Copies of this chain bind each other. A is one copy, B any other.
Amino acid sequence: MAEHITPRSTSYSDWYVDIVLKAQLADYSPVKGSMVIRPRGYALWERMQSALDGMFKATGHQNAYFPLLIPESFLHKEAQHVEGFAPELAVVTHGGGEKLEEPLVIRPTSETIIWSMYRKWIQSWRDLPLLINQWANVVRWEKRTRLFLRTTEFLWQEGHTAHATEDEAREETLRMLEVYRTFAEEYMAMPVLTGVKSESEKFAGAVNTYAIEALMQDRRALQAGTSHFLGQNFAKAFDVQFQNRESALEYVWATSWGVSTRLVGALIMAHSDDNGLIVPPKLAPTELVLIPIFRSNNREQVLPAAEKLADELRKEFRIVVDDDESNSPGWKFAEWEMRGVPLRIEMGPRDLENGQVTMVRRDTGEKEAVALDAAGARARALLDEIQQNLYQRALEFRGANTHYPATWDEMAALYQGEDAPGGFAVAPWDGDAATEALIKEETKATIRVLPFGNEEEARGKTCIRSGKPARHMAVFAKAY
């Protein structure tokens, strides 16, 4: 049998680490806080990259690459930015055997180096909008790390755009938030809430930060992507002005937005079970595993038939045939379940006699006999159903774990104590950072987003904690 995974009910965090390590998605590295992304984990990231990159290009963005190392002084040009990132910097002090005149930091994010270049590239309204994305690694020194979810180095993409007007920049910010929502829901099968972050949770240097927030199976929230409206903060810090159509000089308006390898962690935690990883078909590096079942006396019947079917399916599907004779069928079933392949096809001698195969869904475990000549069509339909079902299941789970507490006691009970239910709490908030801090102190729950239109809904209500007039309907949760 495949290796044992700690059940979620015993320890959710041990279960998570077991899946990452035993499905060989990643491994601890000898460098504290850094991880190694193994081929099976990297293949998931590659499929995510490919889908996102297509969506970025379809919305007019181009890829580029900016330096890893940034002069330390650049970060100091934007006051909030340096305040947010200074505690997390890795600093290069020596290069080529000599002490550097000015220390260089490894990018924790690239606004500063990019806006120093935009200053060279933007002179006129004709140079705008400038719509650039970068796939890169970044380093943020973290005290407590967790595979995929929080590591000192991670891979991500960061979009950095420059616009002639505030309206255009705000539109871009929301466009990319929508790209992230679409990707999370349609590819990752992971429903997300969208909205704006409170002041205390926003990106260091942004005017507004928008986010997509998902709910994991342990009822904790995970911020899965952010899109920032940066106003003219970086244009002013790096003196990036353009000549408008009336030949007057104006500062440029900016956005930035990113998702990271954290999404791989989110994917695992959103769908997987006690048998291992579950991957939505659209992101599965292998969609189908075909397992021929035979003994020495019927090897010559089963194997060629399996190969024939595989050759046909290969035209349309990403398929692996597991005909390794050193493992038993049962071992293979468990192994491929562990690896999260969405659909298993079994082909034994009795199947063959009946001109059929057996298909087994990873998400529900349901088995069905399928006529050989309908295998491709049925596999396509089942993969679509699995993709839909994973989304639907996660959506129902989120619905069942979204609460509307009427009183502070009800809300506190959601988060206090070991067996507290957790999940999302939607509640009126007075908009005061002190109240937000108090709620966090008492429950460890933070404001995940202020949904679009929340101000309307808050009208006439009183804050769940302070009793003062509410300004927002906020969504709270304990979060990763």
Chain B contacts of A136 at CB under 8 A?
137
A243 contacts chain B at the CB level, 8 A cutoff: no
Query: Which of B37, B43, B62, B67 has a CB less than 8 Å from the CB of A43?
Result: B62
Instruction: Check B91–A63 contact: CB distance below 8 A.
Output: no
Chain B contacts of A88 at CB under 8 A?
96
Given A27-B120, A30-B113, A35 and B67 touching (CB < 8 A)? Answer: yes
| Interface bits A152-185 vs B (CB < 8 Å: 1, else 0) | 1101000000000000000000000000000000
| Interface bits A59-87 vs B (CB < 8 Å: 1, else 0) | 00011111111110010000000000011
Work out how many copies of this chain go into the complex: 2
Instruction: Check A90–B94 contact: CB distance below 8 A.
Output: yes
**How far, in whole Å, are A153 and B69 apart by their CA atoms in the complex?**
9
| Closest residue on chain B to residue A131 by CB atoms | B39
Chain B contacts of A309 at CB under 8 A?
none
A46 contacts chain B at the CB level, 8 A cutoff: yes
| Interface bits A106-131 vs B (CB < 8 Å: 1, else 0) | 10000001001100110000000000
Q: Number of contacting residues on A, CB 8 A? A: 55
Instruction: Check A139–B69 contact: CB distance below 8 A.
Output: yes
Chain B contacts of A74 at CB under 8 A?
30
| Closest residue on chain B to residue A103 by CB atoms | B94
Instruction: Check A38–B64 contact: CB distance below 8 A.
Output: yes
Chain B contacts of A375 at CB under 8 A?
none
Min CB distance A284 to B, Å, is 15
Instruction: Check A155–B65 contact: CB distance below 8 A.
Output: yes
Instruction: Check B91–A137 contact: CB distance below 8 A.
Output: no
Chain B contacts of A63 at CB under 8 A?
39, 42-43, 46
Min CB distance A79 to B, Å, is 18
Instruction: Check B87–A97 contact: CB distance below 8 A.
Output: yes
8 Å CB interface, A138-155 against B = 139, 141-143, 152-153, 155
Query: Which of B36, B45, B70, B90 has a CB less than 8 Å from the CB of A31?
Result: B70
A446 contacts chain B at the CB level, 8 A cutoff: no
Q: List 20 A-B contacts (CB under 8 A).
A: A27-B121, A29-B67, A29-B113, A30-B116, A34-B67, A34-B69, A36-B117, A37-B65, A38-B64, A39-B132, A42-B64, A43-B62, A69-B90, A87-B96, A88-B96, A89-B94, A93-B94, A94-B103, A96-B143, A97-B141
